[in-house]
Amino acid sequence: MRVLSVLSSKGGVGKTVTSLSLAVTLAAQGCKTLLVDADGSATASSFFRSFDELPDGSDGCCGIYDVLFHECRAVDAAREVRLNLALLASDPRMMKVDAALLRQPAADLLLARALRNVAAGEFEYAIVDTPGVWGGMVQNAVLASSHLIVPVNSEQMAYDIAVDTLSYVLNQMDAYERPCPQFRVLLTAYRETNACRDIAELALQTWPQNLFETRVRFTEEVKRLSADRKTIGDRKSATLREDYNNTAKEIISWLTTPTAQTRKPRRVAVKTGKPKTGKPKTGKTRTKAIGVTAA
């Protein structure tokens, strides 16, 4: 099973919309998909279950919290919500997950171990919707992932934080003496404006081998879908459906094509330290390789 975490420490870039839309789209294309809601806000889960129906740890009502801390198997806690799509739901207990992780041995590897125990053939893909603030749960997601998707909503700050976040991921993988997961950057909320075109060009220069060709275009339908807790599989949204269908096709090609040898990565100036939410982090500037993995 390939594990793809959708990762961003900036709000408003379409992280949860991307997680939901890719999971729904991959399932619609016949791929057995597990949507893992690792965010304490449980936003992704609420698209399929009311807040009253979220897991609480009682018999037969388990979610990701129980998988991490109560020895519940991921395959038992997952609930089918669509054809080919199952949900490993979050709930309010996940709001305090970082404190709970502090009391666990090898806490950074709990999610990796849980997903590793999913039997071969149960799912082809797991899409992980991560919290928007870097902490123990995001660390778990990165270490559990074979691939990362970083949405950037065509704004300078989103680009800066994406660079920041990927640099931090590389530093963390260096600390664990593990290779960095393959990653790709997805431009979201894209408009044909000079500002968006400038960010697209900058992203292409920074990640020439790691940028999705598809650009998810801006549409007001995103707000309506979110307000009504509907996905692109529930309601006709031609723009979103077309863009995420194309992104899903790129993902399948990406995951099924043998990794090519990359050229020496470009080096850009970034800042060290844990990425902040919604603004670039402070810290000492140094040079770090960003585009280090194959497309």
In order along its 295 residues, the chain shows pLDDT tens digits of 999 999 998 888 999 999 999 999 999 999 999 999 999 999 999 999 876 777 776 666 789 999 999 989 999 999 999 999 999 999 999 999 999 999 999 999 999 999 998 877 899 999 999 999 889 999 999 999 999 999 999 889 999 999 999 998 998 899 888 888 999 999 999 999 999 999 999 999 999 999 999 999 999 888 888 888 888 877 667 889 999 999 999 999 998 876 643 333 344 444 445 665 554 444 443 334 455 444 4
Distance CA 44, CA 36 (A): 9
Residue 65 lies inside a defined structural domain of this protein: yes
Q: How many domains does the chain have?
A: 1
With respect to residue 243, please indicate whether it lies within any of the assigned structural domains: yes
pLDDT, residue 124, reads 94
- Other Cβ atoms less than 10 A from the Cβ of 48: the count is 21
How many CB atoms neighbour CB 4 within 10 A?
Answer: 28
Dist CA 34 CA 36 (whole Å): 6
Amino acid 155 reads: E
Instruction: Return d(Cα 210, Cα 292) in angstroms, integer.
Output: 9
Alpha-carbon span 285 to 25, nearest angstrom? 40
CATH code of the domain in which 61 resides: 3.40.50.300
Residue 60 lies in a domain: yes
Structure tokens given for 29: 């294309």
Contacts of residue 80, Cβ cutoff 8 Å, sequence gap at least 6: 86, 87
- 151 Rama sector, left if φ>0, alpha if ψ -120 to 50, beta otherwise: beta
In a domain, 295, yes or no: no
Answer for the pair 290, 270: CB distance below 8 angstroms, yes or no.
yes
| 127 in Cβ contact with 231 (< 8 Å) | no
In a domain, 128, yes or no: yes
Residue of 60, 251, 234 whose CA lies nearest to 148: 251
Is 294 within a domain?
A: no
- pLDDT value of position 99: 92
Determine the pLDDT at residue 267: 40
Q: pTM for this one?
A: 0.86
What pLDDT does residue 59 have?
61
Q: 173-195 as b/e, with b when 16 or more CB fall inside 10 Å?
A: beeeeeebbbbbbbbbbbeeeee
Q: Give the orientation angle of helix 194-206 with respect to helix 156-176, to 10 degrees.
A: 20
Q: What torsion do the CA atoms of 286, 291, 293, 294 make, to the nearest 10 degrees?
A: -160
163 domain residue, yes or no:
yes
The pLDDT, as a whole number, for residue 166 is 93
- Structural domain that includes position 270: 2-289
